[in-house]
């Protein structure tokens, strides 16, 4: 019996992913001053016990004002390290790897939690708004606050934020770090011509719009140990006239790879501006972003992670078998079913599917075997 690729370990630098299932980063908006709470411990324990190969902790601010909401996690203070270390230990206890997504929200910072509307915070509102920064003074949407165009000191502060956050991620024991370059946040807004109108060295052509992204990647790589991987999450296409194309992202991937970035995590969307309508014309289909991971993998000869409506074990296995990606990231389906790895192991006929679970569970489930119950046909009256 051959092992499905989904359950075949992947070695990268000095770390081993025990399988290819990765928890995609998911903001929980429940941190207090950037610190991990009990909620986060419970949230991550579900996935670790479910048998994932790795997880990426939610978008975590490299500066206080670089958080999306007041409830976002941070690595901008040493006080954030102990809580993050507990999350790492939750995964390590199950033989899984732990990564953290570090980023700066740029012009999409200072917003309300999704269930409070996700709009920009009001200066006099119950939660105080703060000043946001971006490559150019263009709001994320019409009617939103206008960010301040970044000046030399801002570049230095953000670079330093990434450097210090990477140090703290290391102190917390993370196995890998992911740079957040997607979804309309700061690095994405530098890359996209829809949001970057600068006329200095950080704007203009592709090389100019990539410059700050590459500086950040170099900063992170200079701190992060050789034996640990660096991921980069990109919006690989803006799906909008004048925005980022897959070819642009392949060019970026080549440059990132040359600077020691190991994996491109290929997402899309998020650059909603008054300039172009970047909303998808139709609801996304299963695997709607897989072609981006495939394009980068082939075009830049880079390891990729596919994400976006990957819900079925056969679908995940087909992506890997086709050579479209090396890792499969899942967000919402894992929230619905943290035992997805077990269900995938059964669906893909893994010899001992219960082995994905911790032994105190696996032992009893193996002994019990499969049991199903069929309700009796309804009685006619
Ligand atoms: C609750 C929630 C929070 C999210 N937070 C983040 C985040 O912190 N960083 C990020 O890059 N993407 C974030 N995403 C996007 C997911 O990582 C993922 O790319 C997206 O949900 C598509 O995958 P799925 O179809 O498996 O859910 C979030 C998604 C959800 C549902």
What residue owns the CA closest to ligand 1's atom 18?
Answer: 331
Q: Show me where the domains of the chain are located.
A: 5-363
* pLDDT for res 273: 54
What residue owns the CA closest to ligand 1's atom 1?
Answer: 26
CATH number of 5-363: 3.20.20.70
* pLDDT for res 283: 84
Polymer length in residues for the chain:
381
> Distance of CA 202 to CAs 85, 117, 182, Å?
35, 33, 18
Does the pLDDT of residue 281 top 70, yes or no?
A: no
CA distance linking residue 270 with residue 253, whole number of Å: 19
Does the pLDDT of residue 193 top 70, yes or no?
A: yes
Q: Is 101 in the pocket of ligand 1 (CB under 6 A)?
A: yes
Cβ contact 297:262 at 8 Å: no
Q: Return the number of other C-beta atoms located less than 10 Å from residue 38's C-beta.
A: 8
* Least confident span in 130-139, 155-164, 282-291: 282-291
Strand 176-181 vs strand 15-17: parallel, antiparallel, or unpaired?
unpaired
DSSP 158-169: HHHHHHHHHHHH
* pLDDT for res 279: 54
Query: Which mutation among 331, 336, 338, 344 tests ligand 1's pocket best, with the greatest number of atoms within 8 A of CB?
Result: 331
Burial of 157 (0-12, 13-18, 19+ CB in 10 A): middle
pLDDT in tens, 232-243: 999 999 999 999
CA nearest to 6, candidates 362, 268, 347, 365: 347
pLDDT in tens, 218-236: 999 999 999 999 999 999 9
User: Left, alpha or beta for 328 (phi > 0: left; psi -120 to 50: alpha)?
Assistant: beta
Q: Return the number of other C-beta atoms located less than 10 Å from residue 39's C-beta.
A: 12
pLDDT in tens, 148-190: 999 999 999 999 999 999 999 999 999 999 999 999 999 999 9
For residue 356, give the DSSP letter: G
Strand 303-307 vs strand 263-267: parallel, antiparallel, or unpaired?
parallel
CA distance linking residue 365 with residue 191, whole number of Å: 50
Cβ contact 345:30 at 8 Å: no
Cβ contacts of 372-381, under 8 Å, gap ≥ 24: none
Sign of CA dihedral 112, 118, 123, 125: negative
Active-site pick, 29, 76, 91, 185: 185
In sequence order, the 6+-apart residues with CB closer than 8 A to the CB of 42 are none
Does the pLDDT of residue 277 top 70, yes or no?
A: no
pLDDT grade for 282, boundaries at 50, 70 and 90:
confident
How far, in Å, is the centroid of ligand 1 from the Cα of 179?
14
* pLDDT for res 274: 43
CA nearest to 94, candidates 50, 40, 36: 50
């Amino acid at each position: 019996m051959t092992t499905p690729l989904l359950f075949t370990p992947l070695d990268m630098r000095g770390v081993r992913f025990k399988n290819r299932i990765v928890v995609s980063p998911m903001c929980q908006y429940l941190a207090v001053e950037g610190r991990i709470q009990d909620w986060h411990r419970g949230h991550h324990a579900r996935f670790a016990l479910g048998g994932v190969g790795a997880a990426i902790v939610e978008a975590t601010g490299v500066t206080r004002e670089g958080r999306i909401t007041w409830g976002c996690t941070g690595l901008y203070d040493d006080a954030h390290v102990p809580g993050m270390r507990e999350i790492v230990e939750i995964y390590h206890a199950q033989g899984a790897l732990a990564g953290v997504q570090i980023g700066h929200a740029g012009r999409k910072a200072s917003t309300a939690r999704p269930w409070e509307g996700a709009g920009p915070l009001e200066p006099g509102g119950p939660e105080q708004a703060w000043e946001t920064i971006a490559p150019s003074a263009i709001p994320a949407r019409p009617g939103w606050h206008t960010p301040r165009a970044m000046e030399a000191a801002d570049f230095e502060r953000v670079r330093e934020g990434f450097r210090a956050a990477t140090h703290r991620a290391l102190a917390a024991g993370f196995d890998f770090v992911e740079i957040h370059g997607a979804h309309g946040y700061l690095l994405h807004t530098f890359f996209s011509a829809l949001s970057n109108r600068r006329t200095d060295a950080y704007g203009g052509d592709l090389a100019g719009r990539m410059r700050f992204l590459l500086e950040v990647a170099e900063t992170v790589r200079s701190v992060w140990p050789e034996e640990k991987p660096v991921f980069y999450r990109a919006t690989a296409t803006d799906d909008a006239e004048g925005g980022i194309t897959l070819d642009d992202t392949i060019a970026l991937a080549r440059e990132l790879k040359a600077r020691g970035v190991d994996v491109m995590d290929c997402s899309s969307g998020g650059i909603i501006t008054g300039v172009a309508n970047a909303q998808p014309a139709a609801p996304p289909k299963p695997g709607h972003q897989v072609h981006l991971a495939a394009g980068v993998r082939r075009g830049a000869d880079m390891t990729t992670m596919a994400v976006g409506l990957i819900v079925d074990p056969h679908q995940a296995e087909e992506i890997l078998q086709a050579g479209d990606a090396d890792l499969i990231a899942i967000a919402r389906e894992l929230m619905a079913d943290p035992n997805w790895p077990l269900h995938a192991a059964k669906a893909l006929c893994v010899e001992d599917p219960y082995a994905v679970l911790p032994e105190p569970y696996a032992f009893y489930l193996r002994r019990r075997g499969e049991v199903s119950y069929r309700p009796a046909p309804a009685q006619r009256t």
